[in-house]
Amino acid sequence: MGTNSPQIQLDLWQEPPPAAASVKPMTVLSYGLGADSTLVLIEMLRDPAGYGLEPDLSDLIVITATVGSEWRETVRLVEDHIFPLLRRHQVRYIQVARCGPYEADGWEILADSRSPQRFIPRGRWTLMDELSLNGTVVQAAGGNSCSLKYKGWPLDQWALAEFPDRPFRKVVGYHAREQKRARTYDGCQQEENLKARRTICTVEYPLIEQSWDRDIVEARLFTEFGFLWPKSYCTFCVYSGSCSARPAHMALARPP
């Protein structure tokens, strides 16, 4: 699929068109492939009304920002256990990615289907490409700038292109012990809304609302699938120690 140019959010000279208040906003689940958002997704599929969705899930979009270095085992689990559910419920599933190290390089849609079969492992440019070009590794100092650049930015760009003049409802799978992270995220979204002079989206955290922490998430997924669903992260992530317990990380790293 083709390259998309970055969206310009700040327009000081034009009044934004009035939002269609009577139109029910679409719900967009940021699906990172890992345990937390996987649980949110299967709960949505099981009980659409409980999540404010239409019975046929026609108002749900599931989207993944593709960084390019996900563990093959995690991808296999998604293809084997989640894609069949998306196909059965005809839920729209999208993958987006950056096209280069600079925002001017744009972003791209790797997949957009109600019948996903295979996860697209990478786009034309990845975080690993940038690290290799610069001869460096991801840095722990300065926060998760790689995540903001390779996940947050293409997701935001897609949303601005998909919903240029009407708000949507974003669902994020932070768990109950990530309230500080959720507050930070809310603050960033409010800044984006102010810059755009409209509500780009509202943000909801169903795991926090239900007080489901990581232990509860893992237990419910174990009951669902009969195995421990992994956390999603890049194979070279500097935060691997907190992304995964060491035995689980070593199991992922072991060649098949």
Interface residues toward ligand SF4, by CB under 6 A = 67, 127, 138, 144, 146-147, 150, 233-234, 237, 239
User: Nearest approach, Cβ of 239 to ligand SF4 (angstroms)?
Assistant: 5
Residue nearer to ligand SF4 on the CB measure, 97 or 207: 97
User: Nearest approach, Cβ of 182 to ligand SF4 (angstroms)?
Assistant: 17
Residue (of 234, 235, 164, 174) closest to 207 by Cα position:
174
User: Nearest approach, Cβ of 22 to ligand SF4 (angstroms)?
Assistant: 38
d(Cα 139, Cα 119) in Å, to the nearest integer? 27
Q: Are 95 and 158 in contact (CB under 8 A)?
A: no
Residue nearer to ligand SF4 on the CB measure, 50 or 143: 143
Residue nearer to ligand SF4 on the CB measure, 111 or 127: 127
User: Nearest approach, Cβ of 132 to ligand SF4 (angstroms)?
Assistant: 14
Residue nearer to ligand SF4 on the CB measure, 74 or 147: 147
Residue nearer to ligand SF4 on the CB measure, 57 or 77: 77
Residue nearer to ligand SF4 on the CB measure, 85 or 137: 137
User: Nearest approach, Cβ of 241 to ligand SF4 (angstroms)?
Assistant: 11
Spatial strand order in the sheet of 3-4: 3-4, 107-113, 92-98, 60-65, 27-30, 168-171, 201-204
User: Nearest approach, Cβ of 103 to ligand SF4 (angstroms)?
Assistant: 17
At 233, give phi and psi (nearest 5°). -165, 160
At 198, give phi and psi (nearest 5°). -160, 165
User: Nearest approach, Cβ of 176 to ligand SF4 (angstroms)?
Assistant: 21
State the amino acid at position 128 in one-letter form. Answer: M
Separation of CA 240 from chain center = 18
Q: Are 121 and 69 in contact (CB under 8 A)?
A: no
Residue nearer to ligand SF4 on the CB measure, 68 or 167: 68
Tell me the DSSP string of 156-176: HHHHHHH-SSS-EEEE----T
Positive or negative, the CA dihedral 64, 99, 241, 209 is negative
d(Cα 135, Cα 128) in Å, to the nearest integer? 10
